[in-house]
Amino acid sequence: MKNHKIYIVIFLFSIITSCYEQQKYPPEPRIDFRMIVVEDTINPDLGNKEFIHSIYFKIIDGDNNFGVDTTEEYYDDSLYKENIFIDIYYQENGNIYPFPISFDANGLVPAVPPVGLNDYFKALIIYDITITIPYTFPVRYEFYVIDRDFNKSNVQVTPWIYPDFTGVITDTNNLIID
């Protein structure tokens, strides 16, 4: 009788776990723009007006190797200092140009320990960019990420942000440039 209980438990466990098939995603990161929040503030040290552009995007990385552990000793010597790459463009008279002033908006998202038994990384990332110079033309961002294997994601494009706009801009079309 004892053996039957073990078989029943193993059988029930195999039925239950087979119902929860683990999601599979490709090893290249995939990002989807969700919204951008634009706030204007005053720099407390300088007293000048600044704009904070907070880009919200979802990411899925199928092999769970997105982000950098900045506590590791190899980090200081690593070529892998950035994993978010952003280009800024402005629009004038219907033409699109790279932002005229050298402005490095690239950055680094640190590694996050995996949760549960998933083999993938899935998150909502909020990335803040502070604009300290006034802009008189609409601007937008094109951005992508890379993982620790240097797999590049798709490119996402934000909607145009007009001068003196503050608030939230969402994009239901999820503009993608591959």
Q: Looking at the domain assignment, is residue 89 inside a domain?
A: yes
Q: Looking at the domain assignment, is residue 53 inside a domain?
A: yes
Instruction: Work out how many domains the chain is built from and give that number.
Output: 1
Q: Looking at the domain assignment, is residue 7 inside a domain?
A: no
In tens, the pLDDT along 133-171 reads 778 889 999 999 999 888 999 999 999 998 888 888 886
pTM score, whole prediction: 0.78
Task: Evaluate whether 78 touches 108 at the Cβ level (below 8 Å).
Answer: no
| Phi, psi of 141, deg, nearest 5 | -115, 140
Q: What is the mean pLDDT of the chain?
A: 79
Q: Which domain CATH number covers 48?
A: 2.60.40
| Model pLDDT, residue 88 | 92
Q: Looking at the domain assignment, is residue 8 inside a domain?
A: no
Exposed/middle/buried for residue 18 (C-beta within 10 Å: 0-12, 13-18, 19+): exposed
Q: Looking at the domain assignment, is residue 10 inside a domain?
A: no
Give the whole-angstrom CA distance, residue 69 versus residue 148: 10
Q: Looking at the domain assignment, is residue 11 inside a domain?
A: no
Q: Looking at the domain assignment, is residue 65 inside a domain?
A: yes
Domain that holds residue 142: 23-177
Residue 82 has pLDDT above 90, yes or no: no
In tens, the pLDDT along 38-77 reads 998 888 888 888 888 999 999 999 888 888 877 765 555 5
Give the whole-angstrom CA distance, residue 101 versus residue 152: 26
